[in-house]
Amino acid sequence: MIKKKWGRKNRRLNEPFFVRARRRMVRSLKAAFVVLVLPVSALSLWTAYRELTTTRLLAINTVEVSGLKRVSKNDVMALAGIYEGQNLLSFKPGSAESGLRKNPWIKYTKVSRLIPDTVSIELKERIPAALVKLEAMYVMDEDGVIFKEFTNSDNLDLPVVTGLTSEMMKQDEYAAQRGLLDLIRVLNTRAGFNSRGVSEIHMDTAYGFSIYTLNEGVKVDLGRDAFEEKLAVFERIMASRGGRLNGVEAMRITGAREAIVRLGSNVL
């Protein structure tokens, strides 16, 4: 006798009707939850978010700004887009930082929100090191970045760099610019003769750097290196002449103990 071979029986077909009905009801309720409850929840969340970003309870009352020297707090407020009574959560720190970077004096900024009513702004301003004469006069910072055109309102009394060209900067003459920064750094940190006594720093790709004294306009050739030692020699020469350079036309300092002084034609 041949037995019929049947597939595996579906046990759910043998379940009582009320069990199958309950299962269908559960699935229907889950679908209804997705269709009805989730949109309502999303709407509630949006309503809550809108309330939080508009409530006066989170109004900005304090703006803390650190690092200000040249830039005024009013300028910071305007560039950051902060206004009185603005909701703290609607204020965007990233947008504020982008606005602050439009001011050329601002090198770095970090903006933070402090619940419930404070905005903190940390600034680092550029430190001007010299004026650079190109097609116009520009301001260079201590890192060698030429960051803005000079105006009288900048109120800067700094040496003027000549001999640096736009072509040199495009070609990234790193060695020449590094030497310039080294010389400026030495002049700015010396206790004796320093940048306050210098009117001009001239760059020459062949011979190196020269400075012109502020009072007598004497040209002093310093070459490419050992600036501290050579300026010490220059100080000794000045001391030997009573602190004055009257009658000196120019000098070239070639080492820590060597200098060539050229006198004017009217000096006996």
C-alpha–C-alpha distance, residues 232 and 210, integer Å: 15
Report the predicted TM-score, pTM, of the whole model to 2 decimal places.
0.74
Render pLDDT for 244-264 as a digit per residue (tens, 0 to 9).
888 899 999 998 888 999 987
- Summary mean pLDDT of the chain: 82
Question: Are β-strands 219-223 and 128-133 bridged in parallel, bridged antiparallel, or unpaired?
Answer: unpaired
Q: Are 111 and 121 in contact (CB under 8 A)?
A: yes
pLDDT recorded at residue 120? 95
Token representation of residue 101: 């970077």
pLDDT recorded at residue 171? 63
Q: Are 221 and 206 in contact (CB under 8 A)?
A: no
Instruction: Give CATH 3.10.20.310 domain extents, the chain.
Output: 56-125
Domain 56-125 part of CATH 3.90.420.10 = no
| Edge-to-edge strand ranges of the sheet holding 208-213 | 146-149, 137-141, 128-133, 160-162, 198-204, 208-213, 219-223, 248-255, 258-263
Domain 128-263 part of CATH 3.40.50.10960 = yes
pLDDT of 29 above 70: no
Cis peptide leading into 116, omega within 30 of 0? yes
pLDDT recorded at residue 187? 95
What is the Cα 209 distance to its own chain's centre? 29
Residue among 227, 236, 228 nearest 261 (CA) = 236
Work out the percent of the chain whose per-residue pLDDT is above 90.
Answer: 53
Query: Average pLDDT for residues 17-24, to the nearest whole number?
Result: 59
* CB atoms inside a 10 Å sphere around CB 209: 24
pLDDT recorded at residue 30? 58
Residue 78, H or E segment: helix 73-80
pLDDT recorded at residue 37? 55
Instruction: Give CATH 3.40.50.10960 domain extents, the chain.
Output: 128-263
- At which residue do the structure tokens 């009117």 appear? 199
pLDDT recorded at residue 49? 46
Question: Are β-strands 62-66 and 118-125 bridged in parallel, bridged antiparallel, or unpaired?
Answer: parallel
Pairwise pLDDT comparison (8 vs 223), residue with the higher score? 223
Render pLDDT for 60-109 as a digit per residue (tens, 0 to 9).
889 999 999 999 999 999 999 998 788 888 889 999 999 999 999 999 99
Render pLDDT for 107-121 as a digit per residue (tens, 0 to 9).
999 999 998 889 999
pLDDT of 149 above 90: yes
C-alpha–C-alpha distance, residues 118 and 103, integer Å: 23
* CB atoms inside a 10 Å sphere around CB 121: 24
Which positions ≥6 away from 10 have C-beta within 8 Å? none
pLDDT of 168 above 60: yes
pLDDT recorded at residue 14? 58
